[in-house]
Amino acid sequence: MVSFSKLFTAALVATLAAASSKRGAAYNDASLVRTLANSKSGSMSWSYNWDMKKNGNMPSGVEFVPMLWGTDSVDDWKSAVETALKDGSKHILGFNEPDNASQANIGASKAATLYKEYITPYGDRAKLVSPAVTSSTQSGEGLSWFKTFMSDCKSCNISAMAVHWYGGSFAQLESFMKEAIDAAAKYDIDEVWLTEFALDADTNGISNEATAKTFLEKSMQWMDSEAKVGRYAYFYTANKYLLTSGSVNALGKVYVSTSSSSSGSETTSTKTSTKTSTKTTSTKTTSTKTTSKSTKTTESSKTTTTKSADATKTVKTTKFVTSTKTVKHTKTASATPQAAWNSQPTKPASGW
């Protein structure tokens, strides 16, 4: 017979593992969160669904984090967030992509006013997270929007910054996250949450499993080792992404994996390369040329990423906003919303 002490110890280990995990589940269907989280105990510590209500039960050890999606959601906010806090939520997320015309679409100054009214009052009961901005480099969007928002929200009691990223490679993600970390630090925020991220090619479902796995492994290894990254959630916990027909697929197994052994070898390799390059002038010259080419490639990739991001948001618009907004955005979008989203639920009464 298994002793009570052994069972208690096992449960405690699982709870501590979950609490220390940065990984979360971005979801619509709560049952899929349970399937993913239960496939490996302690693999995830939190979840969110772009809503203020969890709309289903979370697995043990997984905190639901409510979000005030946008201006359409304020009427039901106070009662919903009170319920979430009573149920154990310890964090609150701000608006969803207020810098994006197809999502929450709120000016930075207005967003600051709304944040102070609806979210800041809960700062003594939960850790407050900023509105989640895109990785757009356009003026008035992305980190530019965040900086304007923070200049008007210095007394908002924000403890963490939230961002989204879509692009073409891990190198681009790492570069953007470092920019975000630097931007947050200017406002004494020492924690950044990446609450949506994926390759552009995978926004409508995983297009190439091997490529997605490599990207996800590198991204998680870096974020797990980067102290300034507080939490992250891959886009997203659903069929065609981390699951297939209701079961955890190969990519989902990578996501719940807790292994990060290869990150150490990468660091060692980098250090060795650096030492070698300092020994000879020729090695330094070669390294400089390579870096220069890499920089040019990155700049080119950023431009492409910005264009791709516009198309990506068209897809997400169909999923998360009202039909009126969808029609309006479709007319000006650079891509047609994909049929893959047609089966997704429409905006609930409480608002996305």
- List Cβ neighbours of 70 (8 Å cut-off, separation of 6 or more): 95, 96, 98, 103, 104, 105, 106, 351, 352
Q: Is residue 176 situated within a structural domain? A: yes
Cα-trace Rg, the chain? 21
Q: Are 48 and 65 in contact (CB under 8 A)?
A: yes
pLDDT value at residue 258: 61
Q: Is residue 339 situated within a structural domain? A: no
Structurally, how many domains does the chain consist of? Answer: 1
Q: Is residue 37 situated within a structural domain? A: yes
Q: Are 199 and 215 in contact (CB under 8 A)?
A: yes
Angle between helices 261-277 and 281-320 (to 10 degrees): 140
pLDDT value at residue 298: 33
Domain that holds residue 205: 24-256
SS3 state of residue 274: helix
Q: Is residue 327 situated within a structural domain? A: no
- List Cβ neighbours of 254 (8 Å cut-off, separation of 6 or more): 213, 216, 217, 220
pLDDT value at residue 20: 55
The partner residues of 91 in beta bridges, in order of sequence, read 127
Cis before 234 (ω within 30): no
Q: Is residue 244 situated within a structural domain? A: yes
pLDDT value at residue 41: 87
CATH code for the domain in which residue 153 is found:
3.20.20.80
Q: Does the predicted TM-score (pTM) go above 0.95?
A: no
Q: Is residue 264 situated within a structural domain? A: no
The partner residues of 63 in beta bridges, in order of sequence, read 46
- Which pair of tokens denotes residue 86? 């009573």
- Rounded to the nearest 10°, the torsion over CA 10, 16, 19, 21 is -80
Mean pLDDT by 10 residues, the chain (352 residues): 42 40 97 96 95 96 98 96 98 98 98 98 98 97 98 97 98 98 98 98 98 97 97 98 98 82 33 33 33 33 35 35 29 28 35 40
Q: Is residue 3 situated within a structural domain? A: no
Q: Is residue 79 situated within a structural domain? A: yes
